[in-house]
Amino acid sequence: MSFLTYLISGLSLGSIYAIIALGYTMVYGIAKMLNFAHGDFIMVGCYIIFSVTASLGGNPLLGILVAVVLCTILGITTEFVAYRPLRGAASPLAVLITAIGVSYFLENVALLIFGADIKSFSSVISWEGLSFAGGQLRIQGVTIVTILISVLVLVVLQLFIKKTKQGQAMLAVAEDKGAATLMGIDVNKTIMLTFAIGSALAAIAGALLCSAYPSLSPYTGAMPGIKAFVAAVLGGIGSIPGAMIGGLVLGIVEILSKTYISSQLSDAIVFGILVIVLLVKPTGILGKKIQEKV
């Protein structure tokens, strides 16, 4: 029973990584850039939920709604102000360095407003969960909700991409921006919509992350953001199902490593597995090799 409990915990943590990784993989797949400030959008979403619930009598649903809206606006603004002017830059390093700068900017703004003290985050999920086998196996409510939400997000995103005009426009821009423009697709609006969706997902992931691990600081999103990027690369960056699979694998490996090997070595094991996978299959689990025409 203990192994099953750890496995379910790994699926829960992996589901959070998967939701964050979906933001990474969508932005990279469509805009061909890595938004390394994505992890800090998680932190911003957590602080918004924390502030709203503290000031309005503890209404978590309202806090999540406000966080999703404000994080979406933040994502759109960041894309417009920081990334769009550099889209045609000669070196992709310009966008990468800007993303790192945005990350540090958000962290330091949070430090100025909220301070460096670690705050206790009240879970937005009050359900206690379920018990099986006479109480030997207990699954917390936040674990069940996290897994269900990750599956729901994956299904909705897949349907959005395949069944809507905006989703088809995203596929076209991901394939060839120039050709998409000639077909009448507004590339700027499509990329902005991608950032909006990714930022909204970051707010949702932040609510789930801080509910499962109830502490909040200006650096809350830093390590989960890096691990979610690893999950996106592991699954095949640019692939939505790949991000989901990569996140789940990463979460399970991390929890089992902490339990059966060493909590201090778990991160090293996670990144080591990434190195091995990339050596064997550089495009990731579901990634496809792209043949460049000369």
Count other Cβ atoms within 10 Å, centred on residue 47: 23
Q: Which band of pLDDT confidence, cut at 50, 70 and 90, is reported for residue 293?
A: very low
Locate the domains of the chain by residue range: 2-280
Give the model confidence (pLDDT) of 86-131 as tens digits.
Answer: 877 667 788 888 999 999 999 999 999 998 888 888 778 877 777 7
Give the model confidence (pLDDT) of 251-268 as tens digits.
Answer: 999 999 998 888 888 888
Q: Report phi then psi at 216, rounded to 5.
A: -140, 130
Distance CA 29, CA 108 (A): 29
The one-letter code for the residue type at 135 is: G
**HEC sequence for 207-250:** HHHHHHCCEECCCCCHHHHHHHHHHHHHHCCCCHHHHHHHHHHH
Question: At the topology level of CATH, where does 2-280 sit?
Answer: ABC transporter involved in vitamin B12 uptake, BtuC (1.10.3470)
Mean pLDDT along residues 161-180 = 88
Pairing of the two strands 215-216 and 137-140? unpaired
Alpha helix stretches (DSSP H) within the chain: 2-31, 38-55, 60-78, 93-114, 141-163, 165-175, 177-182, 187-212, 222-235, 240-260, 266-280
Predicted TM-score of the model (pTM):
0.90
Q: Among 164, 251, 269, which residue's Cα sits nearest to residue 208?
A: 251
- Packed helices 38-55 and 222-235: angle between N→C axes, nearest 10 degrees: 130
pLDDT at 291: 54
With beta carbons less than 8 A apart as the criterion, state whether 143 and 213 touch: no
